[in-house]
């Protein structure tokens, strides 16, 4: 069983030495350095999320990815995710095809609805059109991705009738994934368009998503489509020992989850609840290299995953700790995972 090992970040803004939040420009440069480090250490993928709020620095993942495209050699470069509902599919394709050209064919797109809705009013979209915007724009992007003639019409933008969208990619096929949560309709829709999925598992237990992945594979089969990859996106952190990892990571995790919780009306997360999430069945991959590797192996087997994407940044977790996490993930977790899976195969 082959498993790609990747990273995800949203450019979370951490405090500087004076305790004040770092300027987003500094955080973006830190993300660049982290992506370059991941490339040098041999990781397979880095995905950048799109947000338009004060606690994240990255609002234009494709622009940062273009910088990484010009300063890395082999790592695949994607979004995690592009908020397609509030973007234009034509421009999304054009921007990522450009990143693909700069990188020599290493660009990918993962589209989704996003975890937040701030982009809707920012770009003049009505939240009442939430479902229609995503479904129509995915339909258009799937058509554009064939890199041939496009004849499309819908209700969310003007009709499109063109020979092709420029620039095309050298390979003729820009990889396109769909980021999904726990909604059955989302995986069925991805199957309809013959698109692989990234399953965002950010709470609860990984095994809860087994039926969702089974539904996706059943939908592909019943539609007469080939089997497609499934990726896992989950938060986590690697340190020298389990104790050190929890000490360094969990305060940031609990604090940030409670910031989000207050916005959404959730009950505060307790340290005990956070610690449970780092256990064998929880959604947080926090611990020593041995602990994190074993948990990734189990999750990959459970869901038949082709890629695991560790969301290694978390709220105010500083750049130095994020960089050390990347080093341990690449140099100690990855070999253990690959050895375990090869032994099973």
- Model confidence pLDDT, tens digit, residues 103-148: 999 999 999 997 799 999 999 999 999 999 999 999 999 999 999 9
Report pLDDT for 1. 62
Percent of the chain scoring above 70 in pLDDT: 100
* Region for residue 19 given its phi and psi (left: phi exceeds 0; alpha: psi -120 to 50; beta: otherwise): left
- Model confidence pLDDT, tens digit, residues 224-245: 999 999 999 999 999 999 999 9
**Residue 301, Cβ neighbours under 10 Å: how many?**
14
Angle in degrees, 0-180, between the axes of helices 61-69 and 24-40, rounded to the nearest 10: 40
Q: 160: which 2 tokens? A: 């499109």
Give the start-end residues of each E strand in 41-191: 45-48, 76-79, 82-83, 109-112, 150-152, 160-162, 176-180
**Residue 266, Cβ neighbours under 10 Å: how many?**
11
Q: Give the list of residues 6+ apart from residue 214 with CB closer than 8 angstroms, or none.
A: none
- Model confidence pLDDT, tens digit, residues 26-39: 999 999 999 999 99
How far apart, in whole angstroms, are the C-alpha atoms of residue 307 and residue 254?
Answer: 26
Q: DSSP 3-state assignment of 255?
A: helix
Question: Can you give the pTM of this predicted structure?
Answer: 0.96
How far apart, in whole angstroms, are the C-alpha atoms of residue 256 and residue 28?
Answer: 19
């Amino acid at each position: 069983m082959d498993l790609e090992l990747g990273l995800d970040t949203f450019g979370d803004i951490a405090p500087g030495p004076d305790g004040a939040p770092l300027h987003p420009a500094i955080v973006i440069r830190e993300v660049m350095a982290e992506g370059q480090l991941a490339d040098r250490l041999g990781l397979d993928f880095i995905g950048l999320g799109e947000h338009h709020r004060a606690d994240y620095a990255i609002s234009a993942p494709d622009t940062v990815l273009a910088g990484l495209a010009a300063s890395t050699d082999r790592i695949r470069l994607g979004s995690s995710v592009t908020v397609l509902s509030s973007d234009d599919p034509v421009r999304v394709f054009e921007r990522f095809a450009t990143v693909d050209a700069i990188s020599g064919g290493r660009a990918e797109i993962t589209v989704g609805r996003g975890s937040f809705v701030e982009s809707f009013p920012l770009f003049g979209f009505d939240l009442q059109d939430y479902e229609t915007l995503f479904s129509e724009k995915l339909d258009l992007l799937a058509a554009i991705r064939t890199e041939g003639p496009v004849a499309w019409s819908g209700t969310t933008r003007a009709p499109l009738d063109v020979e092709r969208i420029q620039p095309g990619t050298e390979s003729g096929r820009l990889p396109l994934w769909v980021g999904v949560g726990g909604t059955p309709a989302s995986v069925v829709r991805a199957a309809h368009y013959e698109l692989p999925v990234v399953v965002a598992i950010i709470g609860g237990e990984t095994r809860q998503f087994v039926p969702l992945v089974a539904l996706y594979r059943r939908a592909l089969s019943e539609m007469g489509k080939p089997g497609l990859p499934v990726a896992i996106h989950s938060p986590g952190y690697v340190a020298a020992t389990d104790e050190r990892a929890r000490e360094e990571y969990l305060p940031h995790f609990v604090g940030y989850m409670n910031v989000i919780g207050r916005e959404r009306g959730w009950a505060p997360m307790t340290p005990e609840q956070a610690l449970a999430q780092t256990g064998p069945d929880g959604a947080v991959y926090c611990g020593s290299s041995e602990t994190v590797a074993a948990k990734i192996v189990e999750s990959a087997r459970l869901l038949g995953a082709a890629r695991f994407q560790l969301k290694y940044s978390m709220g105010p977790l500083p750049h130095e700790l994020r960089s050390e996490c990347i080093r341990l993930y690449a140099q100690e977790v990855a070999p253990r995972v690959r050895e375990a899976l090869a032994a099973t195969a």
